[in-house]
Amino acid sequence: MPAQPMPPETNRTVDVRREIRRCPQCASRFSRDAVFCPYDGARLEAGAFDPLGDPLIGTVIDGRYEILEVLGEGGMGRVYRVRHGTLLRDFALKALRADLGGDADLAARFVQEARAAAAVRHPNVVQISDFGQLPTGAPYFVMDLLLGHTLGEIIKAGGPVPAGRAVRVARQVAAGLGAAHAAGVIHRDMKPENVFLVGAAANEPSAVGRARAMLGERVDVRVVDFGAAKVVGSSRTTRAGIVFGTPHYMSPEQASGGPVDHRADVYALGIIMYEMFTGRVPFEADTYMGVLTQHMFVQPIPPSQVSDAARELGALEEVTLRCLEKKPEGRYASMDELIAAIDGAVVLREDGHVDIGPRSSRPAQGSPQATPTGSPAPTPTLAPMAAAASEAASASASETAPAPASAIALPPTPSSESPTVASPGPALPHRSVTPRPPSRRAVSDIDDVGDPFAPSPARPAGPPSRAGPNR
C-alpha cells in the first residue's frame, strides 16, 4: 500500500515554523506576524528559512548550552531550544541573527533587550538568566523556556476571548508592565504576540502546555520581547528616522514621532483588550502610514458596536476606550490605576463567571471618522451599583434576593496583583457572563513554538481583514 500523505493540519504545523516575511524593496527579513517593513513601509511578502540547516545545531555554547533545535526567527534574532549540561534543564536561547552581526545599531538594540528584560523581576515578565557571545561574536541571552501559546495564536484560533479570561489576562499583563515601568523600562511594542500564556513547566511535554494554554481555565501570563524597549535615562539606540514598533498597536505619539513615556504601553494594552473582546483591532488600513494616521486622528468604534461578543461588556468598554485616548494625559496614569479600574468594573467568580458593571450614562466617544475630543471617560465602580441593589431589596420584601456574588484572586500565580474581593451583601445588578471555551478545532493548527520570542502567525481581524503586525 502506498504511503498516505500527511494530513493538512500536520503539514501546517510543520511548515509554519519555517515561515518568515521579506521586504521586496530592501530584502530585510522579519517574523511571520509582520505586515509592513519599518524601514520603507513596503508590504512584506511570504518567505521561508530552513532551521535544519543551522550550523549551531548540535554544538555546545560556552561549555554549558547544547543547541537542540531552532524554535523560530524574528526581526533581530533566532531562538533555539538549549539544554544546560549541568542542570539538565531546557532553556530558550536567543542570538542575534548571523546576517545582522555587522550592524552596530541592531547589535546595540539586541543587547539593550537583554538588559531591559533582566532589569524587571516579576512573575508576569519573562526572566533572563544568562548572557554571552557565540563563537562568531554575536551576542546571545538565555531565558525561561515557556510552553503554551501566545495570545495572538489564541485569538487567531478561537476569535474573541471570553470576558472572564480576557480580564485575567489584562490584569496580569498590566501587573508585569507596571513592574517594568517601576524599573524604568517602557516596552513600546506590546501586542498579542508578546503576551505568552504558559500552560506547562519546561520539563513537561510541549503538547500539554499548548493544550492547557489554549483550553484551560487557569491564566499564567508572561510579557515577552523587550527588543523595542526604552530604558529611561539610557542613550538612544533607535535608528534616526525609523519608527520602531508594531503599527496596529502603536500609540499616537509613537506614530507621530513624539516623546514616548509609559502611557504608550497603556494605549497598546487598550488595543490588546479591544482585540480580545472583539476578535479584531480597532484600526486597519492598506498601508503602514494609513494605520498610523488612524491612530493619530480617528476614534475607535466602541467594541459593543463591532462584535456580538462585546455587546455585554458594560463598564469594561469604558475602561478599554479610556486606554485608547489620543492624548496621553487622557489615559490611565499608571498600570496600577488601570488595574484598579478593571477591578472596579468587574467581579471575577470562582466558577469562571464574571459580573460586569453597567456602562455610565456618558455617551460613547466619537465614531471612526471623528477627531480626538474631550476628557477621558469616568472610571466605573461597583459601589453605586451595590447601593442601588440594596435599595431595591429593601423596597420589596416579597422578593428574595439571590445569593451574593463571590470573587476570588487570579489563579495561583506568584504575582503582586491584588485580588478582587466581593464583600457580603445584596446581589449586584451585573450581567453574569458565562465564558465559552475557544474552539478545539484549531489546536492542531498551531505550531510547536515553546519559547516566548518565537514568531507567531498572523490572524484575521475580521472585516476589514488584517494580515498581522510587525515585530
Report whether 210 contacts 259 (CB < 8 A): no
Tell which residue, 27, 293, 20, 347, has the closest CA to residue 164: 347
As a whole number of Å, the CA-based R_g of the chain is: 23
Annotated active-site residue in 33, 144, 189, 451: 189
User: What's the rounded Cα separation, in Å, for the pair 110 and 54?
Assistant: 20
Q: In 221-350, at which residue ranges do the beta strands (DSSP E only) sit?
A: 221-223, 230-231, 346-348
Task: Tabulate helix, strand, coil % of the chain (nearest 5).
Answer: 35, 15, 50
User: What's the rounded Cα separation, in Å, for the pair 113 and 3?
Assistant: 47
Q: From the DSSP assignment, how many helices (H) and strands (E) are in the chain?
A: 11, 17
The answer for residues whose C-beta is within 8 angstroms of residue 395's C-beta and 6 or more apart is: none
User: What's the rounded Cα separation, in Å, for the pair 311 and 317?
Assistant: 9
Nearest-5° angle of CA 410, CA 198, CA 166? Answer: 50
* Per-residue cell: 155: 485569538
Q: How many residues does the structure list for the chain? A: 471
User: What's the rounded Cα separation, in Å, for the pair 169 and 202?
Assistant: 21
Indicate the residue type of 62: D
Tell which residue, 33, 279, 282, has the closest CA to residue 155: 279
- Check if 189 is active-site: yes
The answer for residues whose C-beta is within 8 angstroms of residue 153's C-beta and 6 or more apart is: 214, 446, 456, 457, 459
Provide the annotated active-site residues. 189
